[in-house]
Amino acid sequence: MQDAPAMPESVIAAALTRSIESPLLHQLAKDKRRVAIAVDDLSRPTPAGEILPMLLERLKAGDIHDEQISIIISLGAHSALTPEQIRLKVGVEAAQRVRVENHDCNGNLVDTGVKVGQTPVLINRTFAEADLKILIGSVVPHVFAGFSGGAKMVLPGLANIESIEWTHKAVLMGLRGKAGTLEGNRFRAEFERVARHVGVQFSINVVVNSRREIAGLFAGDIEAAHRHAAKFARQIYATPLPTEPLDVAICNAYPKDDELLQAENAFMFHHTAPANYLKADGLILLTSACSLGMGHHGLFGPAQRLYRQPMRKGFLGHRQLAAFMPGVSSEEFHRIYWEGYPHFQTWKATLEFLQHRYPHGGRAGIFPCSSIQLAG
């Protein structure tokens, strides 16, 4: 992809002193009693631990003390983070200085008085009761929200399981945007309507590069700052098309490669590319470390509300799918992916499969960060 260098620490700090279409942070903090900072979880590549110490200092300049601040992990329906994982996400300093809690989509909620469809939206009580509400999230391509981050941190990130379920069912019914595009995205508009209703005053939107370093940081209004981040993300994630159709597309899920349930993000380049980048009888090889194993999702994991028996993926047409995922067993893999798709735990076995399928060689394209790469 086009990519971008990492921002120096001094430039990141300077970016937090500015604001896009909103008052400055220290002005927003004036006379506030309780501050809530929503941070995304380990399935997202936001290096929150680098930002939070600087943010805490900015709040201190607004006369906000550590004991007035809570960090809430915006989990949606994902697994709660362990104490060690919290330290990995928010950094040791922030974890020691302020209170950190996991969002629970089934408890500690308050009614916002707003609905999505006919479903009441409840959100995390600690976040709802704060005088100053701040979001920290990464802006990477998302298959139906256009880009992640911004108001998506509230709905579905801090919401009740029923409204989270509504958002996913709405996607299945066609309420979706296009990956990498925000214009006319009704899904994104719903997120922002709810976030404004609950009073989010400030968002910090991070764009990471191919090494998961901060390449861009845009702070301010939940909509305007997010749009600036998305514009920059489109530029650095843009990836040229292959000069000739590929036999094999090797699509790596990094930097969203920690769970099997997140591995499908590796189709991002495929979803945004013209069909002829890969031959009609070609192969997609999904690769993902799955270092946390299968992972958890309160809607789509096995035995959960929207779980369905795995089937062939219709969007692949006649193309084959295979997977190299060393962090899960084939039994676990086939609880999420159709049994006809081969799974390998070693690269040696994967390579033997490829050599058997293409005994005379073939043209392969490697997409090392395919969960964030956009065709074009």
The CATH number of the domain holding residue 219 is: 3.40.50.11440
pLDDT for res 176: 60
Same domain, 87 and 221: yes
End-of-domain residue from the set 237, 263, 296? 237
- Which range marks the domain in which residue 75 is found? 9-237
End-of-domain residue from the set 190, 217, 237? 237
Same domain, 152 and 39: yes
Count of domains forming the chain: 2
Query: Is 4 inside any structural domain?
Result: no
Dist CA 162 CA 119 (whole Å): 7
End-of-domain residue from the set 192, 210, 237? 237
Asked whether 146 and 46 are in contact (CB, 8 A), the reply is: no
Q: What is the pLDDT along the chain (376 residues), one digit of tens a residue?
A: 999 999 999 999 999 999 999 999 999 999 999 999 999 999 999 999 999 999 999 999 999 999 999 999 999 999 999 999 999 999 999 999 999 999 999 999 999 999 998 999 999 999 999 999 999 999 999 988 899 999 999 999 999 999 999 887 776 655 566 888 898 888 889 999 999 999 999 999 999 999 999 999 999 999 999 999 999 999 999 999 999 999 999 999 999 999 999 999 999 999 999 999 999 999 999 999 999 999 988 887 888 877 889 999 999 999 999 999 999 999 999 999 999 999 999 999 999 999 999 999 999 999 999 999 999 9
CA angle 171, 218, 76 (to 5 degrees): 35
Threshold 0.85, pTM exceeds: yes
Same domain, 229 and 157: yes
Q: Which two tokens stand for residue 300?
A: 């789509």
Query: Is 115 inside any structural domain?
Result: yes
Dist CA 22 CA 315 (whole Å): 42
CATH of the domain at 251: 3.90.226.30
pLDDT for res 335: 95
Q: Which two tokens stand for residue 206?
A: 């991070």
